[in-house]
Amino acid sequence: MISDSHLHTSFSTDSDAEPEAVIEAAIRAGMTNLCITDHYDPDYPTGEFMIDPASYWEEMSRLREKYRGTIDVRIGIEIGLLPDHHDPILEIAESEPFDYVIGSVHVMDGLDPYYRDQFRGTDAEMYRRYFEVMLEDLRRTDGYQALGHLDYVVRYGYEKDREYSYERFQDVIDPILREIVDRKIALEVNTAGLTKGMAWPNPHPDVIRRYLELGGTMITLGSDAHDAGVGAEFDRVLPMLRELGVEEITEFYGKKPVPVKLDR
């Protein structure tokens, strides 16, 4: 089974899943490796998501050794991108020899779209602002191998995708895609859109198609599970990726891309 490269454990404030339970779930799913990517978000508005990288690395390294020969436990981190925090982001990304660093945007103008009521504009206005902030974040930060859940913001709109399509926001999404293609940053396909009741993963298949048209070649796959739901909805997303012409998924080991062919 294709491995899950976006997983959270109790090291993340929003998860109660013990790391060992997540690893055991991956073994039951038939995975040969997984990558745990707990949250680090500098200046998150409520002060959460600030793990100690050294303690995190120590525990995950212990589990990597414990399960060696059974499953390859890769150690990653998901860092919240903020344009004014380039140096702290890079410092955290390089603080331990992580296998994989996801750069994600969870905050725009001091607000997380998760708390929808705090943003007073329409869904479309919130989506546009999110993409504008994402582009600024990308242009001013470094140290990550993939861009996480590009249209995460749509999960939390009042009307979800009623005010969203790739075409409607092409003028702000295309520069984001060109930025990651030019810098050889992978595009993450995140199945949490499906687990949260949407009809597609993050990003929308039209965005993935456009990424491929622009010359993108690296797609990572993650469930974003905050429990033991490792590999959730992979069975729905993999056929979709094949239909789009994706022939391989990219995993990371020692921050180096490892292509894994998709079975036809």
The answer to whether residue 10 sits within a structural domain is no
The answer to whether residue 257 sits within a structural domain is yes
The answer to whether residue 248 sits within a structural domain is yes
Residue 68, domain extent: 19-261
State pTM to two decimals: 0.96
The answer to whether residue 5 sits within a structural domain is no
pLDDT tens string, the chain, 264 residues long: the values are 799 999 999 999 889 999 999 999 999 999 999 999 999 988 787 777 788 899 999 999 999 999 999 999 999 999 999 877 778 888 889 999 999 999 999 999 988 999 999 998 999 999 999 999 999 999 999 999 999 999 999 999 999 999 999 999 999 999 999 999 999 999 999 999 999 889 999 999 999 999 999 999 999 999 999 999 999 999 999 999 999 999 999 999 999 999 999 975
- Given a contact cutoff of 8 angstroms between Cβ atoms, the answer to whether 222 and 37 are in contact is yes
Hey, what amino acid is at 263?
D
Q: What is the pLDDT of residue 107?
A: 92
Q: Which two three-digit tokens encode residue 242?
A: 């094949």
Q: What is the pLDDT of residue 43?
A: 75
- Given a contact cutoff of 8 angstroms between Cβ atoms, the answer to whether 148 and 102 are in contact is yes
The Cα 105–Cα 151 span in angstroms is 9
The Cα 203–Cα 251 span in angstroms is 18
Q: What is the pLDDT of residue 264?
A: 52
Q: What is the pLDDT of residue 90?
A: 87
The answer to whether residue 249 sits within a structural domain is yes
Q: Which two three-digit tokens encode residue 199?
A: 């009809």
- Could you read off the pLDDT of 228-254 as tens digits, one per residue? 999 999 999 999 999 999 999 999 999
The answer to whether residue 4 sits within a structural domain is no
Torsion 238-242-243-245 (CA) sign: positive
The answer to whether residue 11 sits within a structural domain is no
Domain count, the chain: 1
Q: Domain with 105 in it: what CATH number?
A: 3.20.20.140
- Could you read off the pLDDT of 42-58 as tens digits, one per residue? 878 777 778 889 999 99
The answer to whether residue 117 sits within a structural domain is yes
Torsion 238-243-244-246 (CA) sign: positive
Alpha-carbon separation of residue 115 from 106, 120, 194, 216 (angstroms): 11, 11, 19, 32
